[in-house]
Amino acid sequence: MNCVNNMNIQDNHTGLKNVTYTKPLLSGRVESFNIPIFEEIYRPTQSDHPFYTYHDQLFSKERYQYSCLPIHVGPFDIKIPMDNNGDASITNVLRCPIKNAGSRTIFLPDELAFLKDFVMYCNIYETCFNKRFDELYSHITVDYKHLEPGEYQRVSGFHVDGFQGHKFPTKHEIEHSYLWSGNDTNTPCGTEFCTQPFFISHLDDSKYLVFNEMEKQANTNNLYQCLNDNVYIFDPYMIHRTPIIKSEMNRLLVRITFEYQKLLDPNDTISPEPSLQFKTPYKYDIRNRLGEYKVDLNHPTYGFHKI
């Protein structure tokens, strides 16, 4: 395994503590291509999934009571690029912008050229149900690692992507992501989703870390694991965790996220495309000062007894 052109950086204020962020050194070259406008296109997979009814609605903490499975879009084959020594040659990126709002043009860094078909696949699928496609920003995360038993590829524990907490006093439309993962051993090792009600509306997220409460409420009997080499759509209401590695492997995770607001995080990978080089503020990661809510959950507050 050979993840090239990556440099570790660490800032105790802008990122989650105890996490090392990677700053890739990209060549500066991109390939641009457009997402077609089809006069006729297929119906979306699992068309009765509730996601399709709220994917462009404002964020709501109440929806965690109605958490459900991600959408299984279907299988997709990604070929790992190899160097002359037969090792994987992949540059990891974190939330690298690839699409601007008001545009159907994708700007893909040359290092991610092996993902062009996958990026096209996800973007075309998005157009089959989202009439607001042109309004979306999009970014991509690529994470390839050699892993040993007992390790986690991502940060461990139940969490969500796109939670709008205290730093967003005015809520905006939710984000959603396309997720793919696979490994070189074909061992089942997909992201694990927990489908059950989560009661968090009572938490003051200016003081307490919501993810700690999700970890306490999650029942591991309610877990469903994604298949290798398959595409899923998930949103901020779908609680999940990275799996613990049970055998040595090289694992690739790819995530394409769509959102109606720019994601301005100082740890994001800077796109080589000038029109996607957004100015990011030097901001403190609020998760580093939030504490654990240690009061037991009072189910009758939500109108139920726990049996």
Structural domains counted in the chain: 1
Nearest to 158 by CA among 195, 203, 194: 194
pTM of the predicted model as reported, rounded to 2 decimal places = 0.93
Domain, as residue range, for 220: 6-37+47-302
Query: Is residue 249 assigned to a domain?
Result: yes
DSSP state of 88: B
**Residue-wise burial string across 99-132, b where 16 or more C-beta atoms lie within 10 A, e elsewhere:** bbeebbebbbbebbeebeebbbbbbebbbebbee
**12 band by pLDDT with thresholds 50, 70 and 90:** low
Query: Is residue 1 assigned to a domain?
Result: no
Distance CA 306, CA 268 (A): 41
Query: Is residue 162 assigned to a domain?
Result: yes
Query: Is residue 54 assigned to a domain?
Result: yes
Nearest to 259 by CA among 120, 127, 99, 142: 99
Query: Is residue 137 assigned to a domain?
Result: yes
Query: Is residue 307 assigned to a domain?
Result: no
Predicted confidence (pLDDT) per residue in 19-66, tens digit: 666 788 899 999 999 999 999 999 999 999 999 999 999 999 999 999
Predicted confidence (pLDDT) per residue in 202-223, tens digit: 999 999 999 999 999 999 999 9
Query: Is residue 262 assigned to a domain?
Result: yes
Q: Give how far Cα 289 sits from Cα of 19, 206, 266, 286, Å.
A: 15, 9, 18, 6
Distance CA 101, CA 219 (A): 39
State whether residue 143 is helix, strand or coil.
strand
Query: Is residue 42 assigned to a domain?
Result: no
